[in-house]
Amino acid sequence: MALKSDDTRWGALARTFHWLMAVLIIVLGLVGLWMTGLSNSPQKIKIYAIHKSVGLTVLALVLLRLSWRLFDRRPRDVPMPLWQTWAAHLTHWLLYALMLALPLSGWLYNSASGYPLQWFWAFNLPSLSGGADPALKSFAHFVHEWGFWLLVALLAAHVGGALKHHLIDRDETLVRMLPLLRRRQAAPIPAPAGTAVAEAAPAAVTAPTSDKGES
């Protein structure tokens, strides 16, 4: 499996980033919603600390992912109406923006609350606010909480779009991002009738993904 993406398929690294981060972000959101309702205890402090450390890991991962994205290419868009292509690209870039804004606002909220910040009990991170700041704290909390609900709305469109491509349009959009599934069986490349190539063409030769539907 190639590390880099090509014209028709996401590379191994892009797919690893996508699914690793998708799982981490969904778990962080669920744990975030649950932990705020816990009553004060050493266990709650521990869960908050883990939430913050995993959130900071997501921040590091998205910076690595965006750097790789500058270097890597992305597969050609599957044929679809132009407005859908634009809507999908806009959603992707908003998701990247939120993958930055959520951990940064969490870090800012922690700093403006006057708390120290550690990554998995390994090392300390600097304060983003230079001490407690109630106005900044409530701004950061607003961004963290409402940014998350915006993420949920975008993910509904993102996942819904992926499922629509898979189940209704029956194209490669989802399959080329999945780590394990095989490609859909594409139509054989039509060769001119009566040519030697047409007679000898093996059944397994398939049309390039993104040409599907253009015929």
Binding residues (CB under 6 A) for ligand HEM: these are 18, 22, 25-26, 28-29, 32-33, 36, 48, 51-52, 55-56, 58, 69, 74-75, 88, 92, 95-96, 99, 102-103, 106-107, 109-110, 117, 144-145, 148, 155, 158-159, 162, 173-174, 177
Helix axes 82-112, 134-164, angle to 10 degrees: 150
Measured CA to CA in angstroms, residue 81 lies from 76, 85, 152 at distances of 14, 7, 25
Q: What is the DSSP letter of 210?
A: G
In the structure encoding, which two tokens stand for residue 97, read together? 């923006």
Q: How near is the Cβ of 158 to ligand HEM at its closest, in Å?
A: 5
For residue 131, give both structure tokens: 């001490």
Contact predicate 120/78, CB 8 Å: no
Residue 201 vs 207, nearer CB to ligand HEM: 207
Distances (CA, A) of 127 to 35, 113, 117, 138: 23, 10, 8, 16
Nearer Cβ to ligand HEM, position 58 or 136?
58
Q: DSSP 3-state assignment of 163? A: helix
The minimum distance between CB 175 and ligand HEM, in angstroms, equals 8
Question: CA-CA distance, 157 to 101, in Å (whole number)?
Answer: 19
Could you list the beta-strand ranges (E) of the chain. Answer: 117-119, 123-125
Nearer to ligand HEM (CB atom), residue 128 or residue 201: 128
Q: How many CB atoms lie within 10 A of CB 156?
A: 10
Q: Which is nearer to ligand HEM, 130 or 190 (CB)?
A: 130
The least CB distance from residue 168 to ligand HEM, in Å, is 14
Minimum separation from the CB atom of position 82 to ligand HEM (A): 14
CB of 21 to ligand HEM, least distance (A): 6
CA distances from 37 to 30, 42, 48, 134, 142 (A): 12, 14, 12, 21, 17
Tell me whether residue 34 or residue 190 sits nearer to ligand HEM (CB atom): 34
Taking the complex as a whole, the smallest distance from the CB of residue 170 to ligand HEM amounts, in Å, to: 14
CB-wise, 117 or 136, nearer to ligand HEM? Answer: 117
